[in-house]
């Protein structure tokens, strides 16, 4: 296995964000596989030191419309079975949940904007302690949710979404929320999702202002969380 990190990216502005800075500091190169540009089956799913499946505006169950989902699920299943570090963010977390046999489905209400996380006891005992709502808010941008996979441990919730974060074993972490957001790179999110914001009657100016207010604190907290998680999985892998 090499030291490379494989990041599966669905839309260009939903990248590793602040988490990539942590990897850079550790000398860990990131290779992005852009879905729809590169062949999804091309990389060896067990060849990288870490695989991250990033977010995107499609549903994790839209196999008929988006044929990249099935091979991506197969990649995730192979990573998990091999006991290798795997991280999912938003759509990525939903795909990990689905790969573990859990149901993914439309949430009772979309969650789009800033809301603090409420951590479970397990969450407070994990690297997610840095993301506790008492110290930082959190960005959310999703319309789907999922059941907690069998043998998974819930780490965090919000009033609108019970399963915001979960761990499965020592090597898998799913984050429905977006701790990776960078304040200075948020404008493409607003532009790329302009139709959704208008359709949901969400004020882009307010969302921009909230991100300017809460983003810097979250960036620092997310970097601490991710660094601690990397230390844990690197020790056990």
Side-chain half-sphere exposure of 97, counting CA atoms within 13 A: 28
Query: What would the DSSP string read from start to end of 172-236?
Result: EEEESS-TT--GGG-HHHHHHTHHHHHHTT--HHHHHHHHHHHHHHHHHHHHHHHHHHHHHHHHH
Q: Is 177 in the active site?
A: no
CA-nearest of 229, 204, 230 to 131 is 229
Alpha carbon distance 211, 217 (integer Å): 10
Exposure class string for 197-229: b at 16+ Cβ within 10 A, else e: beeeeeeeeebbebbeebbeebbebbbebbbeb
| Residue of 194, 147, 185 lying closest to 166 (CA atoms) | 147
90 catalytically annotated: yes
Considering 14, 20, 111, 180, which one is annotated as catalytic?
Answer: 180
- From the list 130, 140, 171, 178, the catalytic residue is 178
Q: Which of 90, 111, 140, 161 is catalytic?
A: 90
Rg (CA), the chain: 16
Residue 196 falls in the annotated catalytic set: no
Backbone phi and psi for residue 22, each to the nearest 5 degrees, phi listed first: -65, -45
| Residues that are catalytic | 90, 178, 180
């Amino acid at each position: 296995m090499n030291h490379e990190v494989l990041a599966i990216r669905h839309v260009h502005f939903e990248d590793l964000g602040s988490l990539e800075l942590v990897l850079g500091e550790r000398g860990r190169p990131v290779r992005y596989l852009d879905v729809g540009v590169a062949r999804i089956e091309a990389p060896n799913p067990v060849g990288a030191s870490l695989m991250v499946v990033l977010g995107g505006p499609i549903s994790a169950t839209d196999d008929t419309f988006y044929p990249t989902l099935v091979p991506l699920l197969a990649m995730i299943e192979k990573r998990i079975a091999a006991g290798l570090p795997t991280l999912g963010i938003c759509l990525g977390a939903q795909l990990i949940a689905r790969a573990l046999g859990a149901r993914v489905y439309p949430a009772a209400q979309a969650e789009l904007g800033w809301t603090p996380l409420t951590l479970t006891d397990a969450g407070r005992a994990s690297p997610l302690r840095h993301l506790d709502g008492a110290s930082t808010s959190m960005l959310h941008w999703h319309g789907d949710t999922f059941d907690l996979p069998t043998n998974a441990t819930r780490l965090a919730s919000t009033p609108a979404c019970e399963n915001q974060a979960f761990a499965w074993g020592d090597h898998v972490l799913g984050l429905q929320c977006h701790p990776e957001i960078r304040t200075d790179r948020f404008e493409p999110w607003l532009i790329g999702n302009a139709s959704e914001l208008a359709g949901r009657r969400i004020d882009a100016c307010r969302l921009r202002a909230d991100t300017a207010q809460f983003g810097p604190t979250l960036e620092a907290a997310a970097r601490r969380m991710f660094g601690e998680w990397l230390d844990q999985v690197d020790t056990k892998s």
